[in-house]
């Protein structure tokens, strides 16, 4: 494929190339071309997920954070964006959107979750928000915190978790063993 004619492609075609083309050079060129065409938030997610170029991705993270993102998109930023400034901005917007007036003490909440999980083996199941008496990390946040519980009822477990434990949102789709190891470490800290 000739990368010179990528500017003639539609945003939809460029998104398709980003997702399915096996050539990283072509993906990078498609990501750059798409970024220059005022992409929608959905199209930015293609750049974020599939473009191999970190500079183009950083620009896409910034653009997404500035383009009136939905709460789900703000959660996505908190879960996957490597830039701490963009994450802080996204968390502030999410907290405002979901009506957090007094921020939750994230450190105290994660400690409470860690102690609850470690004291009840089998209570952490990362493949489901809630499953009987087992919960994922965000699910535990909703069980252990009234503000998160309120947000969950109005929005979703993922958004509630991202709003109250934003520093741990990157773990929401991790496996049980990874999250349990982190929670055991937190539970054993003074």
Q: What pLDDT, on the 0 to 100 scale, is given for residue 15? A: 94
Do 93 and 118 lie in one domain? The reply is no
Strand partners, 124: 135
> What share of the chain has pLDDT > 90, as a percent?
88
Do 59 and 111 lie in one domain? The reply is no
pTM: 0.84
Distance CA 137, CA 127 (A): 10
Domain endpoint, select from 69, 97, 125: 97
Do 128 and 71 lie in one domain? The reply is no
Residue 142: give the domain boundaries.
106-187
Do 86 and 111 lie in one domain? The reply is no
* Total count of domains within the chain: 2
Q: What is the pLDDT of residues 108-129, one digit of tens each?
A: 999 999 999 999 999 999 998 8
Do 111 and 153 lie in one domain? The reply is yes
Q: What pLDDT, on the 0 to 100 scale, is given for residue 1? A: 60
Mean pLDDT of the chain: 93
Do 82 and 137 lie in one domain? The reply is no
Q: What pLDDT, on the 0 to 100 scale, is given for residue 129? A: 87
3-class secondary structure, 131: strand
With a cut of 80, say whether residue 3 has pLDDT above it.
no
């Amino acid at each position: 494929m000739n990368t010179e004619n990528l500017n003639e492609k539609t945003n939809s075609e460029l998104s398709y190339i980003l997702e399915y083309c096996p050539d990283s050079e072509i993906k990078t060129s498609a990501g750059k071309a798409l970024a220059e065409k005022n992409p929608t938030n959905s199209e930015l997610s293609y750049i974020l997920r599939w473009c191999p170029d970190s500079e183009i991705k950083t620009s896409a993270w910034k653009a997404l954070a500035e383009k009136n993102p939905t709460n789900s998109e703000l959660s996505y930023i908190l879960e996957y964006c490597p830039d701490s400034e963009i994450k802080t901005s996204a968390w502030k917007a999410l907290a405002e959107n979901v009506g957090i007036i007094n921020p939750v003490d994230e450190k105290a909440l994660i400690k409470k979750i860690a102690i609850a999980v470690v004291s009840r083996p089998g209570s952490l199941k990362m493949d489901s928000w809630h499953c009987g008496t087992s919960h994922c990390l965000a699910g535990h946040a909703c069980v252990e915190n009234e503000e998160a519980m309120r947000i969950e009822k109005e929005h979703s477990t993922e958004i509630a978790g991202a709003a109250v434990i934003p520093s741990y949102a990157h773990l929401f789709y991790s496996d049980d063993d990874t999250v349990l190891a982190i929670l055991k470490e937190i539970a054993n800290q003074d």
